[in-house]
Amino acid sequence: MKELEKLLDRIIQRNNINLRELEYDVNPFVKDLVRFNQMVKFYAFYGITPNHPLDFVFRHSSLAGSYFLGKIRTRNSILYKSDIRGDELKHQGDVFNYQKFEIPITRDEGIDIEDSFLIKTLVHNFSHDPETLEKFFIKDTVSTHYANIHGSPMDGCFLGPFATVDLTTMNDCVIGTFSYIQAGEVGHLNVDPGTVWVRSPDVFNFLYRHPLDKLNHYINFIAGRLPQGFLMDFVEDRKEAFQRVFNAVNIEASVPVPDSASLDRFAVIKPKTRIGENVLVAQRAFLQNAWLGKGANAQENCYIINSRLEGLNVTAHGAKIIEADLGKNIFVGFNSFLRGRVDSRLTIGQESIVMPHTIIDVKMPLTIPPGHLVWGLITNQQQLEANSVSLKDFSKINDGLIKGNMAFEGNGAAFVTAFQERIHHILEANGAFFDGKKNIGHAQKNQNLSFNTIQPYPDGELQGLYPAIVIQP
């Protein structure tokens, strides 16, 4: 296992070199975060489908429990129980529109992971960087539990647990626990935990800070310890159900799945779940007594429990919905945690937008009216009023709004439109609008997916590392 230990030291060193300006040392946070014997235990697996490229090159890497789809390279990297989902990469011949430029794509885009350590991280979407359209790179980077790297090439970054970087090229940054960044391009930033930042330069700028004393109850991360808090306990409590799914070779769907829907065999489906037409359930999703209406989706690391989603709902990567009733066309952003109680349900009116990394945790019934924008930490009616605005009123903002811990500058209508267009695009990509012939998306394309497994050296100096593997059609 010596080689694996050396590899981890090398990655940490490279990450620290990139972060030297911020005087950030990742070593005490990362060194013992995953035990080496864990990295030997799990197989890696990849998807085969006629709808996506099959092009993998793995060199000098540990891939324990990780999943790959599309065109992916790894070199000198450790990927632990991570999902590298290349089903939205650009194809040769596509045209990428950026500002006034129409940029032709000269070859199929690939995800390129080098000198990086990703723990239970989701990598998805495509590179939005106009300077590197054919390569979605992740280099000299360390990301920790349940982080999302979504359409965001990065070099020399550290992502805390439940951090999300979305549609942003990032260099030499530290992104704190449970922080969400969508800002186009950033460098040399140390972002505090619980920061939610959405910026389109010269158009709008949204910033919210979770109160740290309250956030710590849900998630906190200090050097030398595993991430702690309710969110970690919540996923740990359901870990066993996933182990059963991963240990079984063949799994039959335990609920009826319409022809137009897709239920991944690595999702956990508990009783009383109902899958509607055009529904997409991704791997590592957890459904229990979940009613998913037409065109709803549950992406990676989503948990939907004792809840009803009427249809065309986006439950983005890592979002959790418990004891809740959601109307149609509701967006629940990345890593949000929405929890009602058995006798105190959470109700969200149609066409509302729950910002990424929102926590709604109520012990009394709470209703969010239709067409509202919701953010932050909400545990009662008073906090809902402090942390929400109707989309209609938000669209009227011309210069700025300061409300509690939230600051918004710029054009409210542009912000709302950008979100609505993106939600529509996600639904489109997921196949929510499939009519039997047109608008085919992931829910239809991912139905015929086969999985192969690959294994590391079981013993010796190379224990835990995978041999160089090239997989092509």
Partner 1 sequence: MSDFRVKELMVPLSEYATVPKGSTLFEAVLALEKAQEEFDHTKYKHRGVLILDKKKRVIGKLGQLDVLRALEPKEKNPGELSQFSQFGFSSNFVHKIHKQRRMKAAPLKDLCSKASKLKVEDFMQTPSEGEFIDQEASLEMAIMQLVTGHHISLLVTREKEIIGILRMTDAFAAVFHTMKECEI
Residue with smaller CB distance to partner 1, 311 or 412: 412
Q: Which of 402, 437, 450, 473 binds partner 1 (CB under 8 A)?
A: 402
Asked whether position 85 contacts partner 1 by CB under 8 A, the answer is no
Looking only at the bridges linking them, the beta strands covering 168-171 and 274-275 are: unpaired
- Smallest separation (angstroms) from partner 1 to the CB of 195: 8
Residue with smaller CB distance to partner 1, 102 or 399: 399
Stretch of 264-272, 318-326, 402-410, 415-423 lying at the interface with partner 1 (CB under 8 A): 402-410
Residue with smaller CB distance to partner 1, 214 or 341: 214
Tokens at 159, concatenated: 């992502």
Residue with smaller CB distance to partner 1, 89 or 183: 183
Stretch of 5-13, 24-32, 286-294, 398-406 lying at the interface with partner 1 (CB under 8 A): 398-406
Q: Please choose, from the candidates 283, 261, 249, the residue with its C-alpha nearest in 3D space to the C-alpha of residue 47.
A: 283
Phi-psi region of 151 (alpha: psi -120 to 50; beta: other; left: phi over 0): left
Whether residue 138 contacts residue 152, with contact meaning beta carbons closer than 8 Å, is answered with no
- Smallest separation (angstroms) from partner 1 to the CB of 152: 17
Q: Please choose, from the candidates 331, 339, 402, 406, the residue with its C-alpha nearest in 3D space to the C-alpha of residue 376.
A: 406
Instruction: Give whole-number Cα distances, 312 to 23, 256, 326, in Å.
Output: 45, 19, 10
Name which of residues 344 to 383 contact partner 1 (CB under 8 A): none
Residue with smaller CB distance to partner 1, 73 or 209: 209
Angle at 161 between CA 156 and CA 166, to 5 degrees: 60
Q: Please choose, from the candidates 366, 309, 273, the residue with its C-alpha nearest in 3D space to the C-alpha of residue 321.
A: 309
Q: Please choose, from the candidates 127, 136, 113, 141, the residue with its C-alpha nearest in 3D space to the C-alpha of residue 57.
A: 113
Asked whether position 28 contacts partner 1 by CB under 8 A, the answer is no
Residue 39: phi and psi, rounded to 5, are -75, -15
Residue with smaller CB distance to partner 1, 85 or 209: 209
Q: What sign does the dihedral 443-447-450-453 (CA atoms) show?
A: positive
Stretch of 60-68, 189-197, 250-258, 372-380 lying at the interface with partner 1 (CB under 8 A): 189-197
Give the integer Cα–Cα distance in Å for 66 and 80: 6
Q: Look at residue 200 and give its three-state secondary structure.
A: strand
Asked whether position 210 contacts partner 1 by CB under 8 A, the answer is no
Stretch of 80-88, 194-202, 218-226, 420-428 lying at the interface with partner 1 (CB under 8 A): 194-202
- Smallest separation (angstroms) from partner 1 to the CB of 405: 9
Q: Which of 104, 365, 400, 460 binds partner 1 (CB under 8 A)?
A: 400
Residue with smaller CB distance to partner 1, 169 or 307: 169
- Smallest separation (angstroms) from partner 1 to the CB of 192: 8
Q: Please choose, from the candidates 123, 52, 41, the residue with its C-alpha nearest in 3D space to the C-alpha of residue 91.
A: 52
Asked whether position 187 contacts partner 1 by CB under 8 A, the answer is no
For residue 243, the tally of other CB atoms under 10 A from its CB is 11
Residue 392: phi and psi, rounded to 5, are -65, -45
Give the integer Cα–Cα distance in Å for 52 and 175: 31
Which DSSP symbol is given to 311? Answer: S
Tokens at 44, concatenated: 């890696």
- Smallest separation (angstroms) from partner 1 to the CB of 170: 14
Residue 24: phi and psi, rounded to 5, are -110, 125
β-pair partners for 142: 117, 158
Counting residues that bind partner 1 (by CB under 8 A) gives 15
Q: Which of 407, 413, 414, 454 binds partner 1 (CB under 8 A)?
A: 407
Q: What sign does the dihedral 274-280-286-291 (CA atoms) show?
A: negative
x-or-dash string of contact with partner 1, 222-261, rule CB under 8 A? ----------------------------------------
Asked whether position 189 contacts partner 1 by CB under 8 A, the answer is yes
Residue with smaller CB distance to partner 1, 207 or 257: 207
Stretch of 207-215, 221-229, 319-327, 342-350 lying at the interface with partner 1 (CB under 8 A): 207-215
Residue with smaller CB distance to partner 1, 145 or 209: 209
β-pair partners for 95: 104
Asked whether position 183 contacts partner 1 by CB under 8 A, the answer is yes
Name which of residues 296 to 355 contact partner 1 (CB under 8 A): none
Residue with smaller CB distance to partner 1, 17 or 212: 212
Q: Under the rule (CB under 8 A), what is the footprint of partner 1? A: 183, 189, 192, 197, 199, 201, 205, 207, 209, 212, 399-400, 402, 407, 409
